[in-house]
Structure 1
């Protein structure tokens, strides 16, 4: 598995990945604002693709960061690649694109069954702690904001 900066030719693969996670994240594929945001992230170098060697550099997941907010803006792993370390690789890569001198934030699922526990476990492993309840996401699922304090961000 390797991390690479995506190119505009990969937008279709990213939209397919977004389609897999729409039940958890809410509508994205048919939202032109989402496609535009992906293109901007690709152009700015604030996105990373996790590529699996088989089959032929398939997209295993992606992460988009917002350096101005020092935030993990979007992270998704293809269903076929979940629980294989892809999320960990993406999160590490995304954190490398952000400032280590400021807290890092992410909005993720509130505690609950299924994907929530996997996501929370991933973020906790990397030093994120609860910050605030954040209501419901566009899919109607409860979400919360987690923060990785500066002391955690400076660890190797």
Structure 2
């Protein structure tokens, strides 16, 4: 698995990945706002892709600035789930956001994922994935465009004991 900056040439593959999860996240592939977000994140070097044998296995959009960073969107293809693409993408995001210095004690990374009662909460594995990475469930977030519940998950480096 190789993680690299996304380019405009990756747009068809990213949209294909988005199509795999629209049933959980609501419409994206035909949404102009999603296309604008993709172009902006790519132009700002805030989009990464994971590829496996010249095929996109995942993508992530991220942003923010110290002390609060955000993962705006993360998707891993169904065929690649459980093979490390998500973890590699998240590791690369943290590295990029912190310029390779690691997360400082006062800094946090937030992601909004499925609420506990959302049908995709278990099926997608997203909540368990973020918890394995050290994120903890926090406050509820605004419902998704498909009407499903959402929750903020937050990662903050633990204080030295």
Task: Please give the TM-score of this superposition, normalised by the length of structure 1.
Answer: 0.87
User: Which residue in 1 is equivalent to 2:45?
Assistant: 45
Q: Structure 2: how far apart are the matches of 1:114 and 1:133?
A: 16
* Cα shift at 1:11: 0.8
**Contact kept in structure 2, 1:67 and 1:97, CA below 8 Å:** no
Deviates more, 1:32-41 or 1:129-138: 129-138
- Structure 1 gaps of 5+ residues are none
- Structure 2 gaps of 5+ residues are none
User: Which residue in 2 is equivalent to 1:65?
Assistant: 62
What's the RMSD between the two structures over aligned residues?
1.9
Q: Structure 2: how far apart are the matches of 1:123 and 1:148?
A: 9
* Cα shift at 1:113: 7.5
Query: Which SS does the other structure have where 1:37 is aligned?
Result: helix
User: Which residue in 2 is equivalent to 1:143?
Assistant: 150
Tell me the number of residue pairs that the alignment of Structure 1 and Structure 2 aligns. 150
User: Which residue in 2 is equivalent to 1:111?
Assistant: 116
User: Which residue in 2 is equivalent to 1:34?
Assistant: 34
Structure 1 segments, 4+ long, off by >4 Å, are: 112-115
* Cα shift at 1:108: 0.4
User: Which residue in 2 is equivalent to 1:132?
Assistant: 139
* Cα shift at 1:114: 6.5
User: Which residue in 2 is equivalent to 1:88?
Assistant: 87
**Contact kept in structure 2, 1:71 and 1:98, CA below 8 Å:** no
Q: Structure 2: how far apart are the matches of 1:12 and 1:42?
A: 13
* Cα shift at 1:98: 2.2
Q: Structure 2: how far apart are the matches of 1:36 and 1:108?
A: 21
Task: Please give the TM-score of this superposition, normalised by the length of structure 2.
Answer: 0.84
* Cα shift at 1:52: 0.2
